[in-house]
Structure 1
Amino acid sequence: MPVSVHMFPGQGDFPVQVLHRAAARDAALRRALRAVYEEIHATADIGPLPSLADLLLGERPPGGRELAQGPVGLPQLAHHGAAVAWQRVLAERHGPPDALLAVSFGELAALTAAGAWTVGAGASAAYGLARVLAGAPGALALIGCGEERAGRLAARAGGGRVVVGCVNGPRECVLGGPPEQLAAVERLAAEQGLTAVRLHLPFGSHHPELGAQRQQFETLLRNGPPIRPPAVPVYSAVAGRRYAPAEDLAARAADCLVRPAHLPRILALLAAHGHTDYHEAGPGSALGRNAADCLRGTGARVSGAATDDTSTPRRGRGTTVQKGTRETPEKEPGEKGERREKGERSRTLEELLHGRHHPGYLPRLHRALARHPYRVAEAPAEREPYLYRRLRALLRALPTAAELHADADALAAALAWAAVADPRLGMTVVTQGVLGQGSLLRLAGDPGRVRPELDAVDAGALRIGYLVTEAGRASSHLGAGTVAEFQPDGREFVLRTPEEADAKFGGVPQYPGPRGAVVIARAVDAAGREGGVFAFLVELADHDGPRPGVTLSPPVEVGALPLSYHRVRFDGVRVPEAHWLRDDADLDGHGRLHDPRTPADRLRRTLAVGQDLWGVLPTALAALARQSAVLAVRHSRHRETRAALAPGTPLLAHRSQQRALLGALADAFALSCAAARARELLAAARESDTAGAESGFAPWAAVSRPLSAYKAHCADEAERIVADCQRRCGHAGLADANRLAGYHGFARAFDPAGGDSRLIRYDLGRALLDETAPGGPPPLPTDLADPGWWPAVLARHQHTLTSWLRRATTAPPSGATPFETWNPLLDRAAELGATYAARLAAEDLPRALATLPPDEATTALAHLAALRAADRLAGPLLRHRTLTPGELAGLENALERGYDRLLPHLDRVERAFAFPDDMV
């Protein structure tokens, strides 16, 4: 049975706007807040302060800075009352707590909730504390490191007057001391690549020099209302223990001014006493996030942890902190449709990065992928059994293919986590799970025709691949040379490879056992009439080797992504009619093919499985980009340089390294926002057949214009990000064991694979000319900090390029063939297609931010990503006169401010982006 704890944070985390939105959504919370604030004003000794209920629950609540600039005591009472009210709602929805945890001056709210004070008496104590703190000297700073290192920083630069005031977790502390000495410690921390943020609190606390203030506050409490023994056990992060029934609570509360608060120790004590469920009493998320970090490996549940989720308290909502797993928010039934903001569903950062899932899904993936250690140096004979074991473990963790393909988020997460664990396994999931099984599910007509094969693949008893590319010809998907001739006597097709150039090229596992592939070929009926391009499920090999008529070349080694690639030829290979993935076509009794679609539409339908890949591949590419940035940051944080400029400093202290790696994190975040949008588009298009029959160079825009654009854009961006991280890691970036080489190989492979990205850009540029007649360019915000500035710039650039290309193709020279018209313009068409894809991704940044809880870290990531994208395209923007030099004049300074804005959040971003250590 759960043993619950309600946690009361200190004064450093009180997001006023989040509280206001939560109250607007939740009537019970709104009533509790109003009742507590009105009781405070009716019964507390707080002087002539304005009504907190009217101030915080009205239509225009103040911001945090505005509240802090109000009368003395106003922000402390607002925070105190919110914690008391929030805890009441938690108790109503989850039942009474078994214990309360007080952190720093959260002691006062915890003691009030425990019945030691009435609401009015507790508020009087909070007001008295505020007046004492108003005269307390010093300042506080958040440092992104553990207690031991924070102590060394304080001793080295603090002049003996800076101390560790709060230990929030294994990687976060608060230092306190005089402002000048504290600034010296902050500079030293920044030089070592650590987060160092001055807290916006106009006083010091948890410092031994505040003995006079401590005595003043204790006297105030002793002269106030009597403090009763708590009715609920109270654990104090300052005292480091549970308060005894006869505890001198006035003295213990006053100790918060001079003694440090140590959250990990008190949480360890609570866990040892059997407490399993932890809920933060308030709208903030820092305490919950730190608690999850401290409780990792205990199996405890922490509400809202590690996700910056600041929604109102809900029954059953929380995070299970299992040993070795990443935190996974649990969702109650129907929640997906409940939380909306600006017309879109709100979500946590983890949901943006990984999708929405059943609570146990990501932990299952994690366990399956952590089961086998990563191996890189094996020969092919050893590699195949190793990959097969990894694949079998992953398949056991996954739902059936039909269930997986019905959930875009689940399919994307399976691919992403597999690729991060082992890029070769990720490519196997692409060919087998996404393209192979996807073709069977989409194109079989009646899925029951291939149900035994689907079940065999799910069980790991059958390996399948996807063979579309033909080795000897470019754009072979447009005119497959492989032929499938129907034989009516046996009701079967016979596959042939007419010429050597028609040989298929792709991955075929070498591990003994049943192996097959979905093969793209031209169907020819019994009358000798060609019926378009279809997919066929072909048995390639069994335990004894290749099947009759199948010829596999010796393995073609690809060092960047070592798998078993072969040229495959067919000479009279027989394929049962049931393995013809007919879609809505048919063969009559005489073997004549009847297809309701034109050949162009049939090709589009056959290749529509690419839509599945384009919808989920960006999630995997974004995951590789994030993990690459995390690896590079960690490497740079710990690798010291012996350079003469600053010997002994870590690489990450150097501004050039910060620009590259903070930039990589920002670019990976932008890629993650685009990936989330791609999943949404795939989910919306899953059962539709609404793509138009656009006339282009290839079928990509007709299959799905936006998803093909996301594929090309994300593959290019991921390759660039991973390559930058590799370069910044020096020789270590090239070592196979560090995976960066494999990540780069995976991303690089999808330039030509999955639909050649250059062809996609050609086709997008050609298709965009068929849109509405040109109008004026869209308006452009003047402020580079405006979230709409970069999307507007790209929309204007797209308009400029479209107008130019339309003029160039409207009146070709007399008698010119389409090839003669387009041949000199293909690069311009590709530039237009790339701009369209970049514009989609740019629009995804503000769209994603609108669905996330307000957070400085994600806002800083999005802003920096937009500025960096503008910097990379500055040349084309100026060359085509989309922007003037004056409109880009402030870009360099804005970029530097962007890096400074993101740097304090580096540790948080790293933790959010990193995959579990035992998996990577």
Structure 2
Amino acid sequence: MALLAFHSGERPTGPHHVGRVEHVDHTTETVRELTRLLFDQDGEGERVHAPWRRLIAEDTFRHRPGLTPEQRAAQSYTWLRLVNDTLEDPESLATDVALLTALHEWAAIVEGGGGLTTVASIHYNLFLGSLLDHDDDPVRDLTEFTALRRIGTFLCTELDHGNDAPALETTARLDPATGGFVLHTPHPGAAKFMPNTSTLGGPKSAVVAARLLIDGRDHGIFLFLTPLTDGDGPLPHITVTPLPLRPNAPVDHCLTSFDQLPLPRQALLQGEHGRLGPDDALSSNLGNRRKRFLASIARVTAGKLCMSAAAVGASRAALAIAVRYGDHRQVSGTRPGQRIPINTHRTHHGRLLQAVADAYAMTFLHRSLTAEWIRHSAEDRTRLERLIALAKAWITWQARTIALEARERCGAQGLLPANHLAGFPEYIEGTITAEGDNLLITTKAAAELLHHPPTPPAADPGPPHLTNPYFLRNLLVHTEHAFHAQAHNALRNGPAHDPQARWNTASAPALQRAHTHTALLAADALLAALDHTAHRPTRQLLTELTTLHLLTQLTPHTGILLADGHIAPHHIHQLTATVDALTDSLQPRLTTLTEAFDHPPQYLDALPLISAR
């Protein structure tokens, strides 16, 4: 089956048997152009990505066999200091979301990089970022944190309260006698759960989320800057209990409790959401405690972008390793004595190609939302927070699937720690939970989306062919409309006077609508990338990759599309053959697509499954 070959700026308008992409020798130019689109579309690649790419190329980031989990956890802090040494102004990393998320993309791919990305994300985003976001007067001196004389951590969730963080029970009582506060953990279930609060890596301070009590009145949750440890261990009134170390994401997670810990008045992080006056009266421009809490922990949105970035980076690295392995791993051919690369087999390269298409979609989606977040206005904040939450769930879930697929494609070699592949899924599991469990944040966003009608379909998406990505994009729009209607019908017809039961009946189609809405954002990001290149071979290659990605997204929904008249029976019959033809056309470019991920040679060449060839 022949495939469309589009010119720059064109949409498909003619018959769908236009001709296969010609695989002439444009490889070097195509790799260069794909790399530009992935990392330098906005001209910021040298500033944003190059420092971290150079950093992980250094020998210290190569595999070191025989380290204990404790040594790997300590290594995360050694690497954190190397990150800090690359920065002229460490505060700028906390406020530069593009640079910060790029750090996560590159740091996550080295063995044990899950530990580095975790401690870096906590220190720069959640800790330093929170301090910088609050306009305390006088301005705090952050030198001990920017010089890493003290490492910052963030204590929000508790043993009994994770996703229901507004119900936190740690208290910070205003002490009229001193004008300061008394930080207290009222029972074991209120212990702060998971933050890295041990002495590993050096003395630590924390931003602690606690319920502000003034004269017995609960004013909601605020943040308090709290020293935790020195070189000898926890400070008085503080108990730190280490939790088991995860081998592939080694971080010194702990349970942390406070026993009537006195804090000075300046420990309270203040801003427009809440200020404590000289008369001990609290003023706020937000009308309720929940809004004040969300304003206090606003850095979790940037944190979601960071978690997505780490998952995107790990996915691209896993695929680059698996494709390189498949190019060199020889297996028996069809003729006696013949040896062929395992990537020759459709059953092998077909799965990798679909994963590569998804990785491109994930990358471009992350780029587009990061750019929007950087320039967002207050009026657009709620919408973007919802989209970033949806994207974090969609990206990290897909990253888990990709990492497992890449590991499996490398067989027993993929199980060896030195080849990194076995560690990626475990670290990605952490991103699925960090900054809000995926299912919870998707459910919340799905409920909010029901108040917003889906995007109208395009009036003229071009010919209704399965090789037309604009037609396929329109089918994704129709799918979203169908799930939106199902969810609304379920809400209208659900049990009366029982909101929980009504939502239960609507939740399945609402979640499907949210997933489809996110897939549509990714499709739009892929299609936008097409408009940013004038290099015809790259445009042709990306068009086919986009088409393959869209077909895999749409395949589970062909029944509803057929029932609603958006596709015809012949589309169903052509689907498998179209995917097969796309896979056949893209297979010679599989290596080109992953070489564009631009991993340092020092990184890939050090992997035994590659270097042993």
Using the size of structure 2 for normalisation, the TM-score is: 0.85
Please give the alpha-carbon distance, in whole angstroms, between the structure 2 residues aligned to 1:728 and 1:895: 20
3-state secondary structure, aligned to 1:516? strand
8 Å CA contact retained: 1:842, 1:866 = no
Q: Distance in 2 between matches of 1:612 and 1:494?
A: 30
**Aligned match of 1:901 in 570, 578, 585?**
585
Tell whether the 8 Å contact from 2:73 to 2:115 is kept in structure 1 after alignment.
no
How big is each residue's C-alpha offset from its partner over 1:607-637, in whole Å with a ceiling of 9 and x where there is no partner?
Answer: 3212212334433322221111110011111
- Contact 1:790–1:842 at 8 Å: present in 2 too? no
Residue 638 (structure 1) aligned to one of 328, 341, 344: 328
Deviation at residue 363 of structure 1 after TM alignment? 4.3
Per-residue deviation at 1:715? Answer: 0.9
Match of 2:394 in 1: 713
Is 1:744 matched up with 2:432? no
Give the structure 1 partner of residue 466 of structure 2. 784
SS in 2 for 1:553: strand
Contact residue 170 and residue 209 of structure 2 kept, 8 A? yes
Distance (Å, rounded) in 1 between the aligned partners of 2:138 and 2:69: 36
Counterpart position of 1:733: 414
Aligned pairs for 1:60-459 (under 5 A) are: 197=23, 289=28, 307-308=32-33, 348-352=37-41, 356-358=44-46, 362-363=50-51, 366-367=54-55, 370-372=58-60, 373-375=62-64, 377-421=66-110, 422-442=113-133, 444-446=134-136, 449-452=139-142, 455-459=143-147
Residue 877 (structure 1) shift = 4.2
Matched residue type, 1:420: I
Specify whether residues 616 and 645 from structure 1 end up closer, same or farther in structure 2 by C-alpha distance, changes over 3 A only: farther
From 456, 467, 485, give the equivalent of 2:173: 485
Contact 1:691/1:702 (<8 A) preserved: yes
Distance 1:517 1:726, change over 3 A: same
Residue of structure 2 equivalent to 1:888: 572
In the alignment, the residues of structure 1 paired with residue 292 and residue 47 of structure 2 have an alpha-carbon distance, to the nearest angstrom, of 40
1:874 is matched with 555
In structure 1, C-alpha distance between the alignment counterparts of 2:65 and 2:546, rounded to whole Å = 33
State yes or no: 1:665 paired with 2:346.
Answer: no
Identity of aligned residues (%): 25
Q: How does 1:481-880 map to 2 (within 5 A)?
A: 481-508=169-196, 509-511=198-200, 513-525=202-214, 527-584=215-272, 585-597=274-286, 598-642=288-332, 648-685=339-376, 688-690=377-379, 704-772=385-453, 782-816=464-498, 818-857=499-538, 859-879=540-560
Deviation at 1:805, TM superposition (A): 1.1
Deviation at 1:725, TM superposition (A): 0.5
* DSSP-derived class of the 1:461 partner: coil
How far is the alpha carbon of 1:691 from its aligned partner? 5.1
Local SS of the residue matching 2:227: strand
Deviation per residue, 1:439-486 (Å, 9 max, x gap): 1222x213863332xx32322222122222222245231321222222
Deviates further, 875-884 or 610-619: 875-884
Partner of 2:402, secondary structure, is helix
Alignment deviations for residues 114-163 of structure 1 (CA, whole Å, 9 cap, x no partner) = xxxxxxxxxxxxxxxxxxxxxxxxxxxxxxxxxxxxxxxxxxxxxxxxxx
Q: Following TM superposition, by how much is the alpha carbon of 1:658 offset from its aligned partner in structure 2, in angstroms? A: 1.0
- 2:150 aligns with 462
In structure 2, how many angstroms separate the alpha carbons of the residues matched to 1:691 and 1:600? 19
Q: Deviations over 1:318-342 (max 9, x none)?
A: xxxxxxxxx9xxxxxxxxxxxxxxx
Kept after mapping to 2: 8 A contact 1:492/1:575: yes
For the residues of structure 2 that align with 1:563 and 1:862, how far apart are their CA atoms? 41
Change (3 A) 1:784 1:876: closer
Q: Distance in 2 between matches of 1:783 and 1:871?
A: 15
Partner amino acid, structure 2, of 1:631: I
Q: CA deviation at 1:863?
A: 3.2
Counterpart AA for 2:89 = T
* CA-CA distance at 1:549 after TM superposition: 2.0
How far the C-alpha of 1:746 sits from its partner, in A, is: 2.2
Native 8 Å contact 1:734 1:741 kept in 2: yes
Where structure 2 has 5 or more consecutive residues not aligned to the other structure, the ranges are 1-5, 10-20, 605-613
Q: 1:712 to 1:874 in 2, by over 3 A?
A: same
Deviation at 1:683, TM superposition (A): 0.9
Residues 709 and 833 of structure 1 are in contact (CA less than 8 Å); yes or no, is this contact kept in structure 2?
yes
Instruction: Tell which has more relative contact order, 1 or 2 (C-alpha 8 A, sep 6+).
Output: 2
CA distance in 2, matches of 1:611, 1:825: 27
SS in 1 for 2:259: strand
Structure with greater Cα Rg = 1
Counterpart-to-counterpart distance in 2, 1:589 and 1:448: 14
Q: Is the 8 A contact 2:95 2:129 kept in 1?
A: no
Aligned AA (2:390): A
- Whether 1:915 aligns to 2:599 is yes
Inter-partner Cα distance in structure 2 for 1:481 and 1:861: 51
Instruction: Give the root-mean-square deviation of aligned CA atoms.
Output: 3.2
**Conserved in 1, the CA contact under 8 Å of 2:450 and 2:510?**
no
* Contact 1:390–1:425 (Cα < 8 Å) also in 2: yes
Instruction: Give the 3-state SS of the residue equivalent to 1:750 in structure 2.
Output: helix
How many Å separate the matches in 2 of 1:399 and 1:877?
53
For residue 582 of structure 1, report the CA deviation from its aligned partner.
1.8
One-letter code of the match for 1:898?
Answer: L
Shift of 1:662: 2.1
Using the TM superposition, give the Cα deviation of residue 371 of structure 1 relative to its aligned residue in structure 2, in angstroms: 4.2
> Which is helix-richer, 1 or 2?
2
Measured in 1, the distance between the counterparts of 2:249 and 2:124 equals: 18
